[in-house]
Amino acid sequence: MSTRFTIAKLGSQGDGIAETETGEVFIPFALPGEVVTAAREKDRATLMSVLEASPLRVDPPCRHFGACGGCAVQHLETEAYQQWKREKVVHALRSKGIACDVGALVPCAPHTRRRVVFTARRSEAGMQFGFVRALSSEIISIEECPISAPQIVAALDRLKALAGLICTTTKSFHMAVTVTGSGLDVAVHDSGKLGENQRRVASNFVIAEGLARLSVDGEIIIEPKKPVVLFGGVAVAVPPGAFLQATEAAEQTMANIVGQHLARAKKVADLFAGCGSFALRLAARSEVHAVEGDAAALAALDRAFRFASGLKRVTSERRDLFRRPLTFKELNAFDGVVFDPPRAGAEDQSKQIARSDVPLVAAVSCNPVTLARDLRILLDGGYALKSVTPIDQFLWSPHVEAVALLEKPRRRR
């Protein structure tokens, strides 16, 4: 049975929110000001029809929008969409009592997502390959994807065929596909144990189709061409399934902001350094100490530095910064710090930075809520917040990146 709703606002996940006598109801793909009919189940409802459309509603560019769970707001006009994303950062800061002029959102162009994770499963009808419907386990087969890099979209049929070759399970599994300078890097997880014949067949397929590498659960099955990405002109041979920023443009924007802020720093600590997207760029004019918990990522960073030329010294340290953050005494050896943690943020590390004398800090985050929490810690420790720049690299999704820059006067000794 469908019910009539009036949408009051857009929620943090991109759902339209209707206010009713029994509480808020979340309706995906509805926009503020619209009158809709929807089938309600507790506090969620499935959109049935739009009776009165918002003037901000536009035609979504993808035929799969509304079924595929990858995008939440393709139907929202561009300026309103960008303002909604910026407001997510503003709201998170405000919730922690942080007053700061948040910059305009740095936009994300379509067809630029360089790393995409697909879901696959073998069924009686054949191989299913695509994205999972929101709040469901149903796999939606896709024929286009306007957020993804053209190299990935052009390979959809080949990737589906490869999924069929390596699948030895009846369960769903994941295939992460990354665009590199050497071709597509394919990292598969939970597809089952490969037999020798499957390895041979999959390897022949990878070679024939010009893919750079195939790995399964971290094991390299075949690597015809070592996958390489560039960080500020430094070539890095990334390990299987390595974390990379979602788009090259967003990565470069973040690196520029961080680099300008830390330009005066002679020694910089790069915390949660990954494969070196910040460290190897910063090393053009600063000594850098890169700290990362993932051994393969850190090894790739170190190897790239050793084969590069024209960089200042880069040292590396494997360390779990969640369990053992750099202490304020260790941090005092540096003139600048950049940290880019996972979505959980860096609460304990921020407490140590707050106690330190480091004059320049750049905080990078993909989660405005944990960023606001960590910034509150730094502000309470005597830092001044100079700027916050929201950056969109997860187009039409609820996710937004941000870079915050802070300063603290050096204590007189």
Range 117-142 average pLDDT: 93
Range 49-53 average pLDDT: 98
pLDDT of res. 413: 47
Of 294-298, 319-323, 409-413, the range with the lowest mean pLDDT is 409-413
Per residue in 53-105, pLDDT (tens digit) is 999 999 999 999 999 988 999 999 999 999 999 999 999 999 999 999 999 99
Looking at domain 115-228, its CATH class is mainly beta
CATH 1.50.10.10 corresponds to the domain 2-57: no
Q: Which two tokens stand for residue 184?
A: 């597509």
pLDDT of res. 409: 85
Q: Which two tokens stand for residue 12?
A: 């943090």
What distance in Å separates the CA atoms of residue 306 and residue 406, rounded to the nearest whole number?
31
What distance in Å separates the CA atoms of residue 70 and residue 76, rounded to the nearest whole number?
15
Contact assessment for residue 301 and residue 316, using Cβ atoms and an 8 Å cutoff: yes
On the question of pLDDT at 335 being above 80, the answer is yes
pLDDT of res. 69: 87
Domain boundaries, the chain: 2-57, 83-109+244-407, 115-228
CATH 3.40.50.150 corresponds to the domain 83-109+244-407: yes
- SS3 state at 54: coil
Among residues 78, 93, 74, 89, the alpha carbon closest in space to that of 134 is found at 74
Whether the domain at 2-57 and the domain at 83-109+244-407 fall into the same CATH topology: no
Active site positions, annotated: 366
Q: How many CB atoms lie within 10 A of CB 327?
A: 12
pLDDT of res. 136: 87
Contact assessment for residue 103 and residue 390, using Cβ atoms and an 8 Å cutoff: yes
Question: What average pLDDT is seen over the chain?
Answer: 96
What distance in Å separates the CA atoms of residue 280 and residue 274, rounded to the nearest whole number?
11
Range 172-199 average pLDDT: 97
Contact assessment for residue 257 and residue 213, using Cβ atoms and an 8 Å cutoff: no
Range 159-168 average pLDDT: 97
What distance in Å separates the CA atoms of residue 190 and residue 169, rounded to the nearest whole number?
8
Per residue in 354-384, pLDDT (tens digit) is 999 999 999 999 999 999 999 999 999 999 9
Per residue in 235-276, pLDDT (tens digit) is 999 999 899 999 999 999 999 999 999 999 999 999 999 999
Give the confidence band of 411 by pLDDT, cuts at 50, 70, 90: low
Q: Is residue 291 classed exposed, middle or buried when 0-12, 13-18 and 19+ CB atoms within 10 A define those classes? A: buried
